[in-house]
Structure 1
Amino acid sequence: MPLTFRVVAARGGWLQVQLPQRPNGSTGWVVAADVRLTRVSYRLVVSTEDNTLTLFDGGVRVARYTVATGTGGTPTPHGSFYLTELLSPTNHGYGPFAFGLSAFSEALSSFGGGPGQIGLHGTDDSSSIGHSVSHGCIRMTNRDITALAHLLPLGTPITIR
Structure 2
Amino acid sequence: MSSKKKILAGAIALALSFGGYLPAAGTAEQGVSLGSLSVASAAEQKDEQMKISINLAARSLALYRGNTRVALYPIGPGKPYTPTPTGYYKIQDKEVNPTWTSPEDPSVSISSGPDCPIGYRWMTIQGNYGIHGTNHPESIGHYVSNGCIRMYNEDVEKLFDNVSVGTPVEITYNRVVVEKAPDDQIVYYIYPDGYGRQDLDVDSVRTWLKGYGVQNFVSDEAITQKIEASDGEPTYIAKVYPLFVNGQKLQSKAVVQEGKTYLPAIELAKEVKVNLGWDAKKEQLISDYGSAHGYLKQDTYYCEPKEAETLFHLQGTLAQDGTFTMTNGAPVAQATAEPEVKPLVEQPSANTAAQTQSAAGEAAQQPTAAAQSTKTDAAAGQTQVKHEKTLQEIEAEATKKG
How many residue pairs match? The answer is: 113
Q: In 2, Cα distance between the equivalents of 1:160 and 1:128?
A: 20
Pairing partner for 2:158 from 135, 144, 147: 147
Q: In 2, Cα distance between the equivalents of 1:78 and 1:93?
A: 23
- 2:107 is the alignment partner of 1:96: no
Larger radius of gyration: 2
> Any idea what SS the aligned residue of 1:150 has?
helix
Counterpart amino acid of 1:100? Answer: T
Q: In 2, Cα distance between the equivalents of 1:63 and 1:119?
A: 19
Per the TM alignment, residue 140 of structure 1 is displaced from its structure 2 partner at its CA by 0.6
Structure 2 counterpart of 1:71: 79
TM-score relative to the length of structure 1: 0.66
Unaligned runs of 5+ in 2: 3-45, 101-115, 173-402
Q: In 2, Cα distance between the equivalents of 1:82 and 1:53?
A: 14
Per the TM alignment, residue 90 of structure 1 is displaced from its structure 2 partner at its CA by 2.1
Counterpart amino acid of 2:119? Answer: G
Structure 2 counterpart of 1:124: 135
Q: Identity percentage over the alignment?
A: 35
Q: CA offsets, 1:71-94, max 9 Å, x none?
A: 111000000011000112122210
Which structure's residues are more often strand, by fraction? 1
Q: In 2, Cα distance between the equivalents of 1:90 and 1:80?
A: 26
Q: In 2, Cα distance between the equivalents of 1:57 and 1:137?
A: 23
Q: In 2, Cα distance between the equivalents of 1:151 and 1:57?
A: 10
Pairing partner for 1:138 from 112, 125, 149: 149
Unaligned runs of 5+ in 1: 3-38, 105-116
> Any idea what SS the aligned residue of 2:54 has?
strand
Q: In 1, Cα distance between the equivalents of 2:58 and 2:159?
A: 20
Per the TM alignment, residue 141 of structure 1 is displaced from its structure 2 partner at its CA by 0.4
Larger RCO, structures 1/2 (Cα 8 Å, 6+ apart): 1
Q: In 1, Cα distance between the equivalents of 2:52 and 2:160?
A: 13
Structure 1 counterpart of 2:183: none
Structure 1 counterpart of 2:88: 80
Q: In 2, Cα distance between the equivalents of 1:71 and 1:47?
A: 14
Structure 1 counterpart of 2:167: 156
> Any idea what SS the aligned residue of 1:81 has?
strand
- 2:67 is the alignment partner of 1:43: no
Structure 2 counterpart of 1:23: none
Structure 2 counterpart of 1:54: 62
> Any idea what SS the aligned residue of 1:133 has?
coil
Q: In 1, Cα distance between the equivalents of 2:81 and 2:99?
A: 26
Counterpart amino acid of 1:83? Answer: I
Counterpart amino acid of 1:129? Answer: I
Q: CA offsets, 1:77-112, max 9 Å, x none?
A: 00001100011212221011000003x5xxxxxxxx
> Any idea what SS the aligned residue of 2:144 has?
strand
Structure 1 residue ranges (4+ consecutive) displaced by more than 6 angstroms after TM superposition: none
Per the TM alignment, residue 148 of structure 1 is displaced from its structure 2 partner at its CA by 1.2
> Any idea what SS the aligned residue of 1:69 has?
coil
> Any idea what SS the aligned residue of 2:156 has?
helix
Per the TM alignment, residue 130 of structure 1 is displaced from its structure 2 partner at its CA by 0.4
> Any idea what SS the aligned residue of 1:147 has?
helix
